[in-house]
Amino acid sequence: MSTNNIPTLELRSLEVAYTVRGIDRSVLRGVSFAIAPGEAYGLVGESGCGKSTAAFAAMRYLPRNGKITGGEIFFEGKNIVDIDEEDVAQLRRSAISMVYQNPSTALNPTIRIGKQIAEVFELNGVSSSDAMMMAEQALTRVQIADPARVLRRYAHQLSGGMAQRVVIAMALASNPRLLVMDEPTTGLDATVEAEVLDLVRELRRDTGTAVLFISHNLGVIRNMCDRVGVLYAGALVEQGATSDLFSNPSHPYTVGLLRCIPRGGLHKSTDRLDTIPGTPPALGLKFDGCVFVARCALADDKCRTQLPQMVTINVAHVARCFHSDKASSLPRSVEQIEYAPQVTGHSTKVGDALLNISHLSKVFTQDGHKVRVINDVSLTLGVGETLGLVGESGSGKTTIAKLLLGLTPPEEGGVVTLDGKGLAKTLNRRDVADVGAMQIVFQNPDQALNRRHSVTRIVGRAVERLRKFSLANAIARAHELLSGMRVDASLHSVRPVQLSGGLKQRVAISRAFAGAPQLVVCDEPTSALDVSVQAAILNLLVDLQKQDKTSFIFISHDLGVVRYISDRIAVLYLGRVVEFGTSQRVFNGPFHPYTEALLSSVPNIDGSTRKRIPLTGSVPSPSNPPSGCVLNPRCPRKAGSGYETLCETEEPNLNEVEPGHFMRCHIPMAKLKQLQS
């Protein structure tokens, strides 16, 4: 860290409020931190904690209904809270830049990329012809392969990763002393995220720019930042050097946050995830004492009535807690369900074959072209087991779910059997028992629950239809289900809008279980949730599986979550299964080259460094897949394997490379093992 004693950015007791429906609601409560020149400072916290607000406040750019109600922001020693718009613009032009989430919408759709980048140089007095040249150099700097071509493109012609590189190039064009990055890789695929993070790390090494890095992802923060601040309900509750804070968390919130992440190696069979009970307070709620008091197992009367000050843990490590010494021994919070088992009449044992998918394909017609989005997928799943589907966007995970459920019919030749019985291709030709036997939990409960219906009605109607119960019995059963899934009886009559995200998802799960299903497809069920809530939902699913011997197909982009909950894993690439096997086999290797790249791109929360296996280029369009193995143009193991010609000309089959482990690769197992060791 630099010894320069004037920080690049310093927030002092910053207070920000948003006016919502006529009332001021505070979002930042006295936040103070400083970033030294060249330092990377991370802010973490769950949604609504004020991370982004802090980032935008540093840029002096708050939404129309937001205002700074107290405190100061110093940039290189100068208070910028009260400077006028022209001075703010001057700062942004020359000293502070920002990179944000959703790069593709951050670029103007009607102006060519080149002109948008050149604009930054022109603002600093460069002539327009020089500016265009410098724009090309800026693109080279962010490792864009064909910069001259990209200059002439429009935003919608770029992939997400490419667009983010352009945004970064634009941000760095002014040689800023501070770079604010607000969730710069959220929404990008894991391999793309890893590339962008590598790039940022490299650029930072070259430029020495100070960085304020905002992320909800603890792994990303751990890998990118020198120091970290933890925000909760708009207050900074803990701050310290990254490794120190992660290894010795001293605020109960930080402790809870770290505990509830399904980190590498944890598995449902042996480990139960911790949760943080309750939900974050509503926006703008007023506190007399600690902001975390309602959810803290260590809270006492003092915490309720007095505002805790920052306590020094060691040199640069502080925590806003009266009980920071006891934080590491925070009692575990693991809730158990009180759930009445379903009477399903199935007498099968765990591990018996339940689902058999063979030769499933799907072709969509897009602008007159036939696009094969699912190509000959065959998978099996046993009773009481979880099959994890992983793969990047466009790999066909969700389409497979829709095909199984009959929401979209598969192509001729695809067969799905459940419990030995072949299922009709479309939903309306399946009988009630078949429909009830396979259900789904969607990613976004806001869309999956009808906002005009009560919780009881949503679940009760499903019981009524799927189990042919009388209305009264259906309602009774719905209440039983809901209470079992810890949706309090007082909430049964309310509408979904009145529930928190986690509770909504519990209602959605209750509905999926209404028909005593044998198989439930969980399509990114926790992706929209905060990690503390995610842990509770994962625990619930595991409990349900144990009690009912329900099988799951679990779709997620989060490999940690998939690893925790799955017994078997199928890795998808471009609509094809490239690897399929038990969780252990797939995660421990030897890996399919794509799996290897995918796994190596996940930022590790333990801080252990691991060599990243990069995938070159971007995912090809499914309408025009490469010849030979579809991965071959990007394959990290093709070169030097000795199988190059085969890889480029012939598509490999899904072969059983060892008992229960299937791989679609020309390179033999032994060779892969040798390359990967």
Q: Where is 460: in which H helix or E strand?
A: helix 455-467
| Smallest separation, CB 278 to other proteins (Å) | 3
Say how far apart CA 535 and CA 537 lie, in whole Å. 5
Residue identified by tokens 């500016």 is 131
Give the nearer residue to other proteins in terms of CB position, either 318 or 373.
373
Contact 481, 459 (CB under 8 A): yes
Contact 26, 4 (CB under 8 A): no
Query: How far are the Cα atoms of 31, 44, 500, 558 from residue 254, in angstroms, in the given order?
Result: 17, 10, 21, 21
Tokens coding 340: 């009445």
| Smallest separation, CB 369 to other proteins (Å) | 11
| Smallest separation, CB 608 to other proteins (Å) | 35
String marking each residue 70-109 x if it binds other proteins according to CB under 8 A: ---------------xx--xxxxxx--xx-x-x--xxxxx
Which residues inside 335-394 make contact with other proteins, applying CB under 8 A?
A: 367
Q: Does 407 bind other proteins (CB under 8 A)?
A: yes
Contact 506, 485 (CB under 8 A): yes
Give the nearer residue to other proteins in terms of CB position, either 439 or 526.
439
Which residues inside 452-481 make contact with other proteins, applying CB under 8 A?
A: 452-453, 461-462, 465-466
Give the nearer residue to other proteins in terms of CB position, either 537 or 597.
537
Q: How many residues form the binding site for other proteins (CB under 8 A)?
A: 78
Q: Where is 398: in which H helix or E strand?
A: helix 397-405
Which residues inside 628-657 make contact with other proteins, applying CB under 8 A?
A: none
| Smallest separation, CB 294 to other proteins (Å) | 5
Give the nearer residue to other proteins in terms of CB position, either 190 or 514.
514
Say how far apart CA 523 and CA 404 lie, in whole Å. 12
Which residues inside 8-47 make contact with other proteins, applying CB under 8 A?
A: 21-23
| Smallest separation, CB 385 to other proteins (Å) | 22
Give the nearer residue to other proteins in terms of CB position, either 119 or 651.
119
Calculate the dihedral angle through the C-alpha atoms of 112, 115, 117, 120, rounding to the nearest 10 degrees.
Answer: -150
The angle at the Cα of 156, spanning 154 to 158, to the nearest 5 degrees, equals 85
Q: How many residues can be counted in the chain?
A: 677
Give the nearer residue to other proteins in terms of CB position, either 109 or 345.
109
Give the nearer residue to other proteins in terms of CB position, either 451 or 611.
451
Say how far apart CA 143 and CA 138 lie, in whole Å. 9
Q: Where is 467: in which H helix or E strand?
A: helix 455-467
- CA 528 vs. chain centroid, Å, equals 8
Give the nearer residue to other proteins in terms of CB position, either 97 or 566.
97
| Smallest separation, CB 661 to other proteins (Å) | 33
| Smallest separation, CB 434 to other proteins (Å) | 10
Which residues inside 239-298 make contact with other proteins, applying CB under 8 A?
A: 277-279, 281-282, 285, 294-295
Contact 30, 13 (CB under 8 A): yes
Tokens coding 346: 């199935």
| Smallest separation, CB 373 to other proteins (Å) | 18
Which residues inside 478-517 make contact with other proteins, applying CB under 8 A?
A: 488, 490-491, 494, 497-500, 503, 511, 514-515
Q: Does 444 bind other proteins (CB under 8 A)?
A: yes
Query: How far are the Cα atoms of 222, 252, 323, 601 from residue 258, in angstroms, in the given order?
Result: 11, 10, 18, 20
Nearest residue to 291 via CA among 300, 281, 301: 281
| Omega prior to 517 cis, within 30 of 0 | no
Say how far apart CA 89 and CA 593 lie, in whole Å. 47
Return the beta strands (E) in 395-457 as ranges: 415-418, 421-422, 438-441
| Smallest separation, CB 199 to other proteins (Å) | 19
Which residues inside 148-207 make contact with other proteins, applying CB under 8 A?
A: 154-157, 167, 170, 174
**Among 43, 58, 59, 135, interactor with other proteins by CB under 8 A:** 59
Which residues inside 506-565 make contact with other proteins, applying CB under 8 A?
A: 511, 514-515
| Smallest separation, CB 256 to other proteins (Å) | 14
Region from 209-217, 227-235, 424-432, 631-639 binding other proteins, contact rule CB under 8 A? 424-432
Q: Does 572 bind other proteins (CB under 8 A)?
A: no
Q: Does 585 bind other proteins (CB under 8 A)?
A: no
